[in-house]
Amino acid sequence: MSGRPRLIVGITGASGAVYGVRLLEVARGLDVETHLILTKAARLTIAYELERSIDAIEALADRVHPVADVGACIASGSYRTLGMVIAPCSMKTVAAIASGVTDNLLTRAADVVLKERRRLVLLARETPLHLGHCRNLLAVTEMGAIVAPPVPAFYARPRSIEDMVDHTIGRILDLFDLDAGLAHRWRDDAPITS
């Protein structure tokens, strides 16, 4: 891939839109070209959870693709990217990816990332899980996706929601060999407790 590395960022309607937004902010600082897809439900969740406009969030991305545009560049395997992060990822989206249903750009781009053997990271959001959720999460994992629920790492001793979000985003970016300096690193000299 010539030029800046490209990363596709999808935001669905699951709770936790802050993860996708923070990923866009951090990627900008790493000089990563971001391609954003917001689902219709994501737009609703953003209105409930964040004190930011859709325009302000879209301005964080290098390119914004309408969710209905299945002919966008990121719908083609010949368009090279590092891969895709869906943050947060609803169980509806997990189910669509697991079954190969690509009726919008978000699921089509995820399908393309998988078929091209690129990295697909899903910040799956739901609790508790029922058997159907578990089966779909297993299916996407078997297909090559990485399921990375945004679970706080308390060993990092977060003092705020922002600390928890940043640590998660740092760990997600690690999966693409991008170091934003956000993840608390375990040290060799960490004390061992029994």
Q: What is the pTM of this model?
A: 0.94
Is residue 193's pLDDT more than 90?
no
pLDDT digits (tens, 9 = 90+) for 83-141: 999 999 999 999 999 999 999 999 999 999 999 999 999 999 999 999 999 999 999 99
Q: Are 109 and 8 in contact (CB under 8 A)?
A: yes
> For the purposes of burial, counting CB atoms within 10 Å of the CB of 77, is it exposed (0-12), middle (13-18) or buried (19 or more)?
middle
Instruction: Tell me what pLDDT residue 187 has.
Output: 75
Per-residue b or e along 104-121, where b marks 16 or more CB atoms closer than 10 Å to that residue's CB: bbbbbbbbbbbebebbbb
Residue 44, token pair as written in the block = 């609703």
Q: Give the bridge partners for 124, in sequence order.
A: 89
Measured between alpha carbons, how far is 102 from 115 in angstroms, rounded to an integer? 13
Instruction: Return the number of other C-beta atoms located less than 10 Å from residue 173's C-beta.
Output: 23
Is residue 194's pLDDT more than 60?
no
Domains defined for the chain, CATH in brackets: 6-174 (3.40.50.1950)
Looking up tokens 């990822």 gives 89
Is residue 171's pLDDT more than 90?
yes
Instruction: Tell me what pLDDT residue 22 has.
Output: 98
Is residue 188's pLDDT more than 70?
no
Is residue 77's pLDDT more than 80?
yes
